[in-house]
Structure 1
Amino acid sequence: MTIAPSAAASDDSHCVYSVTTGDYACYATLTDATSQGAKQETSALAAADIIGATVFEHRDYGGSSLTITVPEPCPKNDKVDFWLDLDDYWQNRISSVQAWSTCWVWLYPDSGDRAGPYKDNHPEVGAYINDRTVTVGLS
């Protein structure tokens, strides 16, 4: 089930953001958001996108989620290849992350510092960055 764009960033929603198109779509469940069928139902995602990371509102992968799709697996080239400046809903909400498709996740607070890289699943991002992220980078 796709949620209307006006309700895209709301409590208990599971959204998918495409780095390729710059668009997103939201669903009622995480399974719907990340399943191949859900990706094919929306024009917000490019057909060839793959999952680079999923960030979660609460510890232990709870609450709302935001899945970030990328056009290809992240190359290991010593730089951040994909960026997402979080919208008002997601700023200062991330508490756990999952890295996918060779991507490492970097979390940036307002101060310009960064936390990471998170190279796999992290049920807690740590006290320093918990609920302080404004930008996500994938490398």
Structure 2
Amino acid sequence: MATTETGSGPLRTRSAAVALAGLAVAAGLTATTAGAAQASDSEEHCVLDVSSREYTCHGTPADARQRGQRIADTTGEVIGATVFEDVDYGGSSLTITVPEPCPKNDNVDFWLDLDDHWQNRISSVQTWSTCWVWLYPDSGDRAGPYKENHPDVGDHINDRTVTVGLS
């Protein structure tokens, strides 16, 4: 997939599945079940499968990782990243599964425009598989790549991310 960088921010071409996943996230994740919906200030641990656009939430990070692993085991997907609301991998989490390990091709291969719940909340990241994590604020800048786990993304991007890219 082609990615072109300009001075004002990334221009990107996305696959249909990734574009639809971004729309699902931006549209408030209508696939969320009523039982998974929680108040915005309570902790939730969710999994987003970018291929199927399935979004599920769980009570603990371990339950979310287990769900992400089940998706990977049954669909060929892999866990690409987990982002966290608080430093030191605390607070709510979002585990992102992708259709394949991230190729190292100098492109950002998977994009997620975050919904209102996740915008401006990311403080730590874990990388999975071969994916590197890029964090994009509204300004068009970016932080990363985070090539390994980061318990604190740094003051320059903390609580400012609106889009996550995986490369």
Report Cα offsets for 1:95-138 as digits up to 9, x if no partner.
00001110000000000110000001000001000000000000
Q: 1:9 to 1:25 in 2, by over 3 A?
A: farther
Aligned CA-pair RMSD? 2.3
The 1:37/1:55 distance shift into structure 2, 3 A limit, reads closer
Structure 1 residue 48, shift from structure 2 partner: 2.0
Alignment of 1:24 with 2:55, yes or no, is: yes
Q: So what's the TM-score if we normalise by structure 2?
A: 0.74
Count of aligned positions: 134
The structure with the largest helix share of the pair is: 2
CA distance in 2, matches of 1:72, 1:96: 23
The one-letter code matched in structure 2 to 1:35 is Q
Q: Does 1:121 align with 2:149?
A: yes
- What is the rounded CA distance, in whole Å, between the counterparts of 2:68 and 2:100 in structure 1? 19
Contact 1:55 1:97 in 2 (8 A): yes
Give the equivalent residue in structure 2 for 1:14. 45
3-state DSSP of counterpart to 1:63: strand
Quick one: distance in 2 between partners of 1:77 and 1:22? 25
Query: Structure 1's 10 and 4: CA in aligned 2 closer, same or farther, altered over 3 A?
Result: farther
**Percentage of identical aligned residues:** 69
CA contact (8 A) 1:107 1:135 kept: yes
2:136 aligned partner, one-letter code = Y
State whether residues 10 and 89 of structure 1, in contact with CA within 8 Å, keep that contact through their aligned partners in structure 2: no
Q: State the alpha-carbon separation in 2 of the partners of residues 82 and 122 from structure 1.
A: 20
Picking from 94, 106, 111, the partner of 2:122 is: 94
Per-residue deviation at 1:49? 1.6
1:106 corresponds to 2:137 = no
Report the secondary structure of 2:64's partner residue: helix
